[in-house]
Amino acid sequence: MTKRKKKIKYNAQFIHFLFFILLIFAIVNVYSYKKNGEILFFINQKVKKEKIAKQKQEEYNFCLEKKYTENEVAEDLELKIQELDDFIVSNKYKVSVYYEDIATGFSYKYQPSTSYYGASLIKLVDALYLINKAIVGEIDLDNETMVYKEEYKRAFSTGMSAHKFGEEVSIRDLITYAVSVSDNSAHYMLYDYIGHSNLKAYGQSLGGKLILTGGDIFGNQSVEDTNCYLKEAYRIIKENEEYGPYLKSIMDNNVRNSYNTNEIKIYHKYGAYGIYYHDIGLNLEDHPYAISIFTLHEDKNYEEVIQNIHMKVRELRDVFLEHRKNICYQKVYSD
């Protein structure tokens, strides 16, 4: 005799409860799926927007540093250039000027090829030549030395005054003295160490046309020439981790620095003799630039002349940068 299976009876309330639970579970899953989908969509949209914004910013920054062309000249820029020319003429300044925005190449030039006695400006070329030799490993600035002889002694030699005749002085110290305090004795020693033909050929390789013309070891210069030297100094400062900071440090001085104010810093080298006073340097803030101003105002108001022209040049710079920003914004973000 076989046993019957006992039928399990479910009452209606239990079945309704179970159905309700399953329904809630299904609703929760659908809601979670939808919510997660919305979150994922939001995240993807945010990432996409951030990627587009980053790409736009990169395009904008690239545009800002694009090389300047004459086609870009706008009326306000032309007026500012003319205003600067008129300012120099109306004040009867006897000067030459070369300003260049290093990234874009935008420049202002006033009598750029005029030849002047360069005086101590040549000392920066001494430094560039020897630092480049050190960079490629041909000399060691600390171990290479020269003997300080009486024949090298000159006036205006603050650095070398700490040394005695017969003492060996490192090439690094001689470069430091020549640039930071414009030491004349140090230049005479470096000139002998480098050699006339080597120094002249090096300056020419950078674009200098007048270097060591004029009959002595200082020679003539033009603002075109010194603009070439400044751009080489900028390259070393920006690209070389070992010698860039050193070059920057010796150009960071206030020895007859006619540019520096509380708001503006120029890494510079000056040259002065007789009626000649010149100051050249680099501004390393955003949108770095090179500036060379040569004058025949050493015997009177050279500092005022250079400061006044420099301020006008910076006004021109601001107009150019604003003009470039507007062009780039329209190009990148107009759509």
Q: How many residues does the chain have?
A: 335
Lowest-pLDDT range of 1-5, 27-31, 195-199, 246-250: 1-5
143 CA to centre of own chain: 30
Name the band, by pLDDT with cuts 50, 70 and 90, for residue 35.
low
Flag the least confident range among 27-41, 57-71, 269-283.
27-41
In the three-class reduction of DSSP (H, G, I as helix; E, B as strand; rest coil), residue 117 is classed as strand
Task: Evaluate if residue 1 carries a pLDDT over 60.
Answer: no
Lowest mean pLDDT of 11-15, 145-149, 221-225, name the range.
Answer: 11-15
pTM of the model: 0.85
Tell me which residue of 10, 17, 104 sits closest to 320, measured CA to CA: 104
pLDDT in tens, 143-177: 999 999 999 999 999 999 999 999 999 999 999 99
d(CA 256, CA 114): 23
Q: Which two tokens stand for residue 188?
A: 């005479």
Does 45 or 229 have the greater pLDDT score? 229
Name the residue among 334, 335, 332, 328 with its Cα closest to residue 56.
332
Q: What is the mean pLDDT of the chain?
A: 91
- Condensed to tens digits (0 to 9), the pLDDT of residues 176-217 reads 999 999 999 999 999 999 999 999 999 999 999 999 999 999
pLDDT at residue 57, rounded to an integer: 86
Both tokens of residue 124?
Answer: 């920066």
Q: What domains lie within the chain, and their CATH numbers?
A: 75-333 (3.40.710.10)
**Is it the case that residue 243 has pLDDT exceeding 70?**
yes
Bigger pLDDT: 298 or 39?
298
Give 253-264 pLDDT, tens digit per residue. 999 999 999 999
Best CA proximity match to 266, nearest among 253, 276, 277, 278:
253
* Per-residue pLDDT tens digits for 318-335: 999 999 998 888 888 886
Cα–Cα distance measured from residue 97 to residue 297, given in angstroms and rounded to the nearest whole number: 14
